[in-house]
Structure 1
Amino acid sequence: MSITLTDQDKLTLRNAAYGAVTLMAAAGAAGSPHRIATDGSLALSSATGLVGHVLAEKTKGLNLNGKSTAELADRVLPDLTAAMALLGKQDAAEAENFRGTVVVAVEAAARTHQGEPGPALAEMARKITGALDAA
């Protein structure tokens, strides 16, 4: 099955995936947000299939700025749900690939030196997973 994604669809996928990592960095601001962002972004760069190709494209047009974590979440969480819906309509396996890619990135971002993520990171990961599963 061939998947057709518009430029807007691709932007939604990139905003969702990179936005999830950005949300994790915001949730871990008291610790090491740069390391969280780096670990999550590196995990996204290992994506394969259509998702990997879309995430590897230039990221012009990303909207990952916000005055607060809440403002960013208001954009990113719906994009995660929308990305799952648009991929799910065309290819369930690619939708699952996207979900798995984002979950691995969130897990990489949540990893701390002590092993377990703190409560803020764990809660943000739960919200991200919920948005992925809402489609």
Structure 2
Amino acid sequence: MSLTLSNQDRITLRTAAYGAVSLMSAADAAGRPHRAATHGSIALASATGLVGHVLAEWPKGVNLRGKSVAELADLVLPALTAAMSLLKRQAPAEADNFRRTVLVAVEAAARTHQGQPSPTLADMARKITEALDAA
């Protein structure tokens, strides 16, 4: 853990990761949002490395209180891009770890249904992936 992140950097990483799970849960509002949130959060809690340490901390300072999915996306999608930019600059291996961790959480959140995820969940997963890759 030679990389030292500021408190704001840690908040950005947690907002991005837990926000991605929140977006998947919100996109599954007609289905099983509590299961999407649970499965996605378990995946985040299973992270290793610096990313795992940051995500394991109490999410103090994280604001995921959007009144709509659009407001939540306005907070989370830029945070995903910012987190990737930050990690690519400071610790490229951790950037890969963060991206994989978030995508596993997104996949876990989408798999709460039998068969394929709904079109809404698939589209939200695509938006999250695009935000991760925009950095």
> Taking structure 2 as the reference length, what is the TM-score of the superposition?
0.97
Kindly state the Cα deviation for residue 55 of structure 1 after the two structures are TM-superposed: 0.2
Looking at structure 2, the residues matched to 87 and 128 of structure 1 have their Cα atoms a distance apart, in angstroms, of 17
Looking at structure 1, the residues matched to 113 and 12 of structure 2 have their Cα atoms a distance apart, in angstroms, of 32
Kindly state the Cα deviation for residue 112 of structure 1 after the two structures are TM-superposed: 3.2
Kindly state the Cα deviation for residue 133 of structure 1 after the two structures are TM-superposed: 0.2
User: Aligned runs of 1:55-134 on 2, under 5 Å?
Assistant: 55-134=55-134
User: Is residue 2:2 matched to residue 1:6?
Assistant: no
Looking at structure 1, the residues matched to 113 and 77 of structure 2 have their Cα atoms a distance apart, in angstroms, of 27
Looking at structure 2, the residues matched to 112 and 8 of structure 1 have their Cα atoms a distance apart, in angstroms, of 32
Cα shift readout 1:4-60 (whole Å, capped 9, x = no counterpart): 210000000000000000000000000010000000000000000000000000111
Q: Which residue of 2 aligns with 1:25?
A: 25
Aligned-residue sequence identity (percent) comes to 75
Unpaired runs of at least 5, structure 2:
none
Looking at structure 1, the residues matched to 72 and 87 of structure 2 have their Cα atoms a distance apart, in angstroms, of 22
**Runs of 4+ off more than 6 Å:** none
Unpaired runs of at least 5, structure 1:
none
Cα shift readout 1:93-117 (whole Å, capped 9, x = no counterpart): 1000000000000000000332210
Contact 2:25 2:37 in 1 (8 A): yes
Kindly state the Cα deviation for residue 61 of structure 1 after the two structures are TM-superposed: 1.2
Kindly state the Cα deviation for residue 91 of structure 1 after the two structures are TM-superposed: 1.3
Looking at structure 2, the residues matched to 90 and 112 of structure 1 have their Cα atoms a distance apart, in angstroms, of 35
Amino acid in structure 1 at the alignment position of 2:85: A
Looking at structure 1, the residues matched to 23 and 80 of structure 2 have their Cα atoms a distance apart, in angstroms, of 12
Cα shift readout 1:104-132 (whole Å, capped 9, x = no counterpart): 00000000332210000000000000000
The aligned length equals 135
